[in-house]
Structure formats: C-alpha cells, structure tokens
Amino acid sequence: MSIAITWLQAHLDRIILLLVIVAVAAVLTKIVRRVLQRVLDQSQIPSASIFINLALAIIWFIAVTVGLEPVFGINPTTLITALGVGGLALSLGLKDTIANIIGGFGLMLGKVLVPGDTITISGITGTVTDITWRQTVMRERGGNELVIPNSVLNTSSLERITPLSESCVLVPFTAKAGSDPAEVSRTVVEVVGASTSTLTLSTPKPSAVFTGFSPYGLEGNVMLFAKPDVPLSTVRDAVVRALADADFIEQRAAIGQ
C-alpha cells in the first residue's frame, strides 16, 4: 500500500493531466459531432459518418500528441518518425482497408453517392443509408441491408434511379387474338386497380401497355407503382391472382396440352 501511495504521489500531476486531456477530448468530440452534423445537414455537402469520423479521429490524434511527452515522457517527433518507418509495412497489410477509405472519400467528395440515393448495382436495388470509413450501407425495399466495400463501388458500374422507377412493377400478360385493345386495357386497369389499391401508390395509376404481337395474341405489361413499405413481389402476386381468371387472358399452359 505504501508503494502504491508513493507512486501516486510521484505521478499525481501526470495522472491529473491525463484525465484532463481525456475529458477535454471527450467533450470536444460530442460538441464537434453535433455541430458538424447540423452544418452538413444545412449545406450541400453530403452528410455521412465518414466526415464526422474523420473530425473525431483528428481530435483524438491531437489529444494523444499533446499528452505523450508530459504524461508518458515520449517525444511525439520520435514516435511519429517510428510510425513513419513502420507505416510502409503496415500499409501493405492494410491495402484493402486503405483503398476502401480512399474510395469512400472519392464517393462523397465527388458526390457520386450521397445518403438517400437509390441505386442499382450488380442487379440489386436499394437506398444508400450511410457511407462509412470502409463500406457503403444500402437498404433494400424488404428491409435487408447490403454492406458494400467502397473500393468495389469505385470499380463497379452502378445506376442511380429515381424512387418512382424503383417502385415500378411490370407484370406481362397476353390477350387473346382478336381482343379489342381498348377494352382489354380498360378491363385490366379496372381489375388490377381494385385488387392492388392498398398496395400501390394512388398516382401514377395502374396502366396496361401493349408491347407487340405473338402467336398467342397481344403482348402487354401491367404497370404499377408499389408503396415504399410494400415488397414488389407482393404487388406482382396480387396482379397475377387478379388476372388469373380473366376471360380475355390467353392461358398458354392450356395451349400446350
């Protein structure tokens, strides 16, 4: 006990200084996080955690640098020099991480992607919710989250689409040969509209678009726009069920029998 008390008395000033530095850094991080979040929200700069994380990392780096010599007796210049020597070897092992970080800054500063964008990449469509140090988080309509490394986004082609295009559902159908296109279109819209009214947007309204001819009759698509919280598959299923018993629809399975 006496040894511990003697050690505390000898290093009390350093311990107090360390606690003060940590407390100041912690308070600054909270203040900077709130202020930076407000500034990003009110400006044209994309708001993403990568900018906030960078600012917080700088604060803690400064805090560590300030406390090295008076608290631990380590010269910051010596430490930085040592880190520079070992940095090359470390960068080789963390090349993927570094590529993701640089890719994240490239995406944000170039405004290639910003939170809220709806994109399609590798056949998957979703809304960007955040861009972090290493990856971009994308939420699909069904609620699933897709985590994509930033370096992959920088090397892959992606398509930015509008929310309305993302909600579009196309269901193909074939009207019997000799059917009146105007009558088929009116009936399709009436039947489908009644069965999907709770699943689709009120505007644009469902429509029937003819695309051509086939040996079976008139080829067309039913076009609808799902509500934000409704899976596209649910809307497609409702359309198919609504048209299954329509007398103007050509049943191809029956022809093949």
pLDDT digits (tens, 9 = 90+) for 59-91: 888 888 887 777 777 776 766 665 665 555 555
Residue range 31-47: mean pLDDT, rounded: 73
Token duo for residue 52: 């906030």
For residue 223, how many other CB atoms are within 10 A of its CB?
18
Structure tokens at 60: 């803690």
Give yes or no for residue 256 having a pLDDT over 50: no
Quick check: pTM over 0.75?
no
Domain ranges (residues) in the chain? 2-93, 107-163, 167-252
- 162: alpha, beta or left? (left if phi > 0; alpha if psi -120 to 50): beta
Query: Which pLDDT score is estimated for 8?
Result: 67
Q: Is 237 left (phi over 0), alpha (psi -120 to 50) or beta?
A: alpha
- 167-252 is classed in which CATH architecture? 2-Layer Sandwich (3.30)
Whole-angstrom Cα distance, residue 37 to residue 22? 22
Q: Give yes or no for a contact between 37 and 56, defined as CB atoms under 8 angstroms apart.
A: no
Contact 205, 190 (CB under 8 A): no
Q: Which CATH number fits domain 107-163: 1.20.120.1200, 2.120.10.30, 3.40.30.10, 2.30.30.60?
A: 2.30.30.60
pLDDT value at residue 72:
73
Identity of residue 251: Q
Give the angle 12-83-89 at the CA atoms, nearest 5°: 145
Q: Which of 144, 153, 149, 151 is nearest to 126 (CA)?
A: 144
**What pLDDT digit, counting tens, does each position of 131-140 carry?**
877 788 999 9
- In sequence order, the β-bridge partners of residue 168 are 225
Rounded Cα gap, residues 206 and 200, in angstroms: 8
